Structures are given as structure tokens and as C-alpha cells.
Structure 1
Amino acid sequence: MDDYQDRVTITTPEGLEVALVLAGPATRIVAALLDTLVKLVAATFVVSIAVGIGYGILGDAGATIAVAVGAFAFLFLWDPWLEQVTDGRPPGKAMLGLRVVRDDGGRVDLASSLVRNLLRIVEYPLLYLPGIAMLLAHPRHQRIGDLAAGTYVVRERRPVAVAAERAPVAPPDAGPVPALDLVALDAHDRATVRRFAAQAGTLAEAERARLATLIAGPLRRRVGGVPPGTADEELVLAVAHRLG
């Protein structure tokens, strides 16, 4: 599936239209397998400790019940907790450059994480087959949990090491940046960049940074000559300056 088919355009509360690049089914399945492996390792460690302590304090019957309840809670609460502490990038997804976001492009919150992960209860007994079928059939590659929670799994750029002496990107008032190749940008990209630059001075710092990250992701795929380590907002404003 090509880039165009894997994109969804959202409108932010600030009125900006931003294209998110959706993760494909194969990438999501591999990321899920990696995250499941991490969960199994963590569960084995936690259950081993719980068994050792529980049987010594509660006895056989009490410890068995406690371990069963704890294992169930761990199974369904681990993923929401991990999505919160990693800002939607649990280890498997982070390794493949993926992130869970709300369908408005915002950070996945606790309520959304709980809904999308607790619905795995209908997938676990069937070896994830309903989830895999949904990923393959749905045009936006969403599981049942994603549809219920209003979430997407999107592609993010991989972090790039900052060079010791990186080439600076000029701020928007310091003249053009000739190294940037904008030929691949479409009309939507250009309009979004210009609108962000026009509104940037009116936005709160956190909101400006969030929007810059959303816009910069697709730009990095289509703008040539971006120096390593260029910050998201630097890139968006430099492109806006080039566009005039």
C-alpha cells in the first residue's frame, strides 16, 4: 500500500489540516509480537516474585487466588500503563518507528489506552485473529480497540543522531535555506506549512511543539537536504520561509 493510501488527514483544534502516515498491517503485527514478548518477560518476572512471597504469607489457596487475580490485572493493565509512560511508544512500536495517537492527532490519554487495550479480551482467546482480520480489512488499519477508543497507530520518523558540527537551519527571518529541496511537496503540504507559520506566534509552546511534530513527520519524507538533528519546528518554519 503506497504512501497516499496510508495517510489520513485530520483537522486540529487550531484549524490546521495535518496528514498522518498510518502504520500498515504487517508493521503493526510485528510491533505487537515484540510488545507481547516484552510483556511475557515482565509477567514472568513479576509472577515469580508474587508466587515466592504469596505462598509464604497467604498459604496455598490464598496465594493461588492472589496470583490469578494479579496475572489477569497485569495482562490487561500492562499495555495502558506502558502507553502512558512511553507517550504512545511501547518498546515494540518504538523499535519500528510507530506511535499510538488519538484520532485528532493528540497524545493518547489513559481513557483511550484503557478502552483500546481492554478490548483485547475478545482477541486473546482467538489468538488475535479478530484483530489481524480488522487490520487487513479496515482502510485505516484499525483494530476493534482502535475504533472504540478513537486511536490510530502512525509512523514516526526514527530519531537521527545529531552531528558534532551540524549544518544549521536558518530561522524564518534569516533568508532562504538553499539546501532544502521542496519539489516533492504537494499543495496540501504547502498550505499546512504556511498556515502553521502564520499561527505559530499565537500558540502556546506545548501546542506549537505538538503541531510541529505532526507536520514535520510527513515533511521529513518529502523534503530533501534536511540537516541531521534539525528540530521539528525548525524544519517547518524553514520550509515556510522557503515557500514565502
Structure 2
Amino acid sequence: MEGAGVGIRALSTIIDGIILAIIGGIIAIGLGINVGSGHAGNSYYIWSLLIGFCYYTYFESNKGATPGKMLCGLKVVKVDGTPCDLSAAAIRTACRIIDGLFAYLVAAILVWSSARNQRLGDRVADTMVIKVK
């Protein structure tokens, strides 16, 4: 199996980011959080983290890919080729806090330096992102 490269993974992350921004905006409106005022405080940040964690963990453990990955023809699997399970998806998602530093530059460097094109979350969870044939 060949791991997916940085470019296509970045595109899928951008798509997922747009989807998450829309979901977050809808929830913020529903909760009466005025994000544009600059006074949203920690509540919006906490909700955003929770929504993102649930989004990535759910889709990667149940569908093998987030909507962004699906649109880009990508899938998350264990390195042995078996489907990504709940614990692996949760670990991958938790590691996004580090992988996402400096606009995902940390993740990009790790993918470039890995024979399997794995970011930190993939390495810790023993997963990889592959192109779906």
C-alpha cells in the first residue's frame, strides 16, 4: 500500500475545515454565541474542539474517511490494511493538536519524512491514509 501525499491530504483537510466551519457556525448560532463580536470566549473554542474530535473520529472509524477524504478518493486504514477502528481514529484525531501546529506544517514535514507518508497521528495509531483505487 502506498500512502497518500501531502497535496491531496491538504486538499481533503481544507474541505473538512470548510464543512466543520459551517457546522460550527450553525451550532454557534443555535447556542447564541456571537463569534463575530470577538467576545465568543472559550465556549466557542471548546465547542469547536469537541465538534472536530467527534467529526474526525466518527467518520474515520465508521466510514474509513471523512467527507473531505471521500471527495479526494482517500481512505484511512491500519498499516496491515484492516479498517481504522474507533481507538485508532480517536488517537489520530487527538494527535491533530500537534500535527496542526503552524498550519499543518508539522504534519506535512512528518508525511514527507515517512516512507508510508504518515503524520504523527498515523504513526501513533498505526494507520495510514491511502488512495482508493
Q: How does the TM-score come out when normalised to structure 2? A: 0.83
- Give deviations 1:102-159, integer Å, cap 9, x for gaps: 11111111100010111111233421110011112212110000000000111112xx
Q: Note if 1:50 corresponds to 2:31.
A: yes
How many equivalent pairs are there? 127
Letter in 2 for 1:94: M
Counterpart in the other structure of 1:101: 77
**Pairwise CA RMSD:** 2.0
SS of the equivalent of 2:95 reads helix
Counterpart in the other structure of 2:37: none
Q: 1:118 aligns with which of 94, 99, 108?
A: 94
Query: Which whole-Å CA distance do the structure 1 matches of 2:55 and 2:87 have between them?
Result: 14
Query: Which whole-Å CA distance do the structure 1 matches of 2:42 and 2:5 have between them?
Result: 40
Shift of the 94–65 alpha-carbon distance from structure 1 to 2, 3 Å rule, reads closer
Letter in 2 for 1:143: R
Displacement of 1:40 after TM fit? 1.5
Query: Which whole-Å CA distance do the structure 2 matches of 1:111 and 1:146 have between them?
Result: 12
Query: Which whole-Å CA distance do the structure 2 matches of 1:89 and 1:22 have between them?
Result: 14
Counterpart in the other structure of 1:83: 60
Letter in 2 for 1:48: I
Displacement of 1:67 after TM fit? 4.1
- Is this contact kept in 2: 1:100–1:154, CA < 8 A? yes
- Is this contact kept in 2: 1:50–1:67, CA < 8 A? no
Query: Whose RCO is larger (CA < 8 A, sep 6+)?
Result: 2
Q: 1:151 aligns with which of 99, 105, 127?
A: 127
More helix by percentage: 2
Shift of the 68–131 alpha-carbon distance from structure 1 to 2, 3 Å rule, reads closer
Q: Note if 1:21 corresponds to 2:5.
A: no
Counterpart in the other structure of 1:73: 50
SS of the equivalent of 2:81 reads coil
| Structure 2 residue runs without a partner (length 5+) | 34-39
Query: Which whole-Å CA distance do the structure 2 matches of 1:89 and 1:44 have between them?
Result: 23
Displacement of 1:25 after TM fit? 2.1
- Report percent identity of matched pairs: 25
- Is this contact kept in 2: 1:47–1:71, CA < 8 A? no
SS of the equivalent of 1:34 reads helix
Displacement of 1:75 after TM fit? 3.0
Letter in 2 for 1:32: T
Query: Which whole-Å CA distance do the structure 2 matches of 1:130 and 1:30 have between them?
Result: 16
| Structure 1 residue runs without a partner (length 5+) | 1-19, 53-62, 158-244
Displacement of 1:36 after TM fit? 1.6
Q: How does the TM-score come out when normalised to structure 1? A: 0.48
Query: Which whole-Å CA distance do the structure 1 matches of 2:2 and 2:45 have between them?
Result: 40
- Is this contact kept in 2: 1:51–1:67, CA < 8 A? no
- Is this contact kept in 1: 2:99–2:119, CA < 8 A? no
